[in-house]
Amino acid sequence: MTNKDKYRSLCHTEPSIPIFSRDWWLDTVCGEGCWDVLLYEDGGRIRAAMPLYLPLPKAVSMPPYTQTMGPWFAAETTDTKYTTALGKRQAIGKAFAGELEKFASFLQNFHYKATDWLPFYWAGYRQTTRYTYLLHDIRQTARLWENMSPHLRRNLAKATKHPVVVRRCIDVEDFLRVHSLTFKRQGRKPVHVAALKQLIDVCRQRGQGDLWGGYDADGRLHAAAFIVWQESSAYYLAGGADPALRHSGAHALVLWEAIRAVAEHTNLFDFEGSMLPGVERFFREFGAVQTPYFTISKGGINLWDKIVIRLCSCRI
């Protein structure tokens, strides 16, 4: 049995593996033949795993629409001392870093729960801090409302008064149109559209993702959002708003209604964060907590390989 086969079996029985590192997600965003996994086994049990997206044989990178990957560690027993657990994780991290030496280039965003990257630092890797925004206890609707900024509450009231009606299970093409309009307003082109369509389809089939949209009385779609979830968290994966209608407050209302809906499945909402000032402020106004995570990198690739990676991602 290969590491990949073992990991697929683990994903079927281990709920703590984040959605972005699960085998079905990797099959969708990487392609079944473009990912692999490092395993650390002890006593016949998988103690840790580290999935890898391999768009090129010697390059590890991040697949599209995937916030984080990095190492996953099995939970320790409740009586395990902190110093013991930390020592084990550092030993595993050192082993993984050693296995990664065969790659010329490495870049991954580690999950925010991975707070110790020292084994990779000792092996010569670099680290950049990025931020996501987490909304805790989303089943406590009254508390969420209280923690929002006054500006966001006014936007929600504006959208309700307009009125904008939020619908679930909206048409994929409607979503993609509004999604592309947001890129156009920013002077950019949409990327990885084929991968996004496939991911929407797979998540809907699995009952782990859906599309929400805000429509007015004339049937115009003001804003839309693609949300995915598992028991441990929901994630705002992609979205957009029609620039001609973006002052209606619909984007805020769509996210608010989506958050309330996914509370049926989880009690945590991850906005996925952004380093763009305007987007960061929008997420923060929901009362979400700024949470750091690490981008770990080493080596580099030439311009041609970067183009090849981009083309591979676009064909998924």
pLDDT digit of tens for each residue in the chain (316 aa)? 899 999 999 999 999 999 999 999 999 999 999 999 999 999 889 999 999 999 999 999 999 999 999 999 999 999 999 999 999 999 999 999 999 999 999 999 999 999 999 999 999 999 999 999 999 999 999 999 999 999 999 999 999 888 999 999 999 999 999 999 877 777 777 778 999 999 999 999 999 999 999 999 999 999 999 999 999 999 999 999 999 988 899 999 999 999 999 999 999 999 987 777 778 898 999 999 999 999 999 997 665 566 555 665 555 4
For residues 110 and 297, the answer to whether their CB atoms sit within 8 Å is no
Q: Is residue 123 a part of any domain in this protein?
A: yes
The tokens for 159 are 């959208």
Residues contacting 250, CB < 8 A, separation 6+: 159, 162, 164, 214, 222, 223, 241
Residues 184 and 77 placed together within one structural domain of the fold: no
The tokens for 254 are 């769509």
Q: Is residue 271 a part of any domain in this protein?
A: no
Spatial separation of the C-alpha atoms in residues 279 and 47, rounded to whole Å: 37
- Tally of domains in the chain: 2
Residues 89 and 170 placed together within one structural domain of the fold: no
Residues 65 and 144 placed together within one structural domain of the fold: no
Residues 15 and 118 placed together within one structural domain of the fold: yes
For residues 206 and 198, the answer to whether their CB atoms sit within 8 Å is no
| 26: nearest Cα among 45, 10, 47 | 10
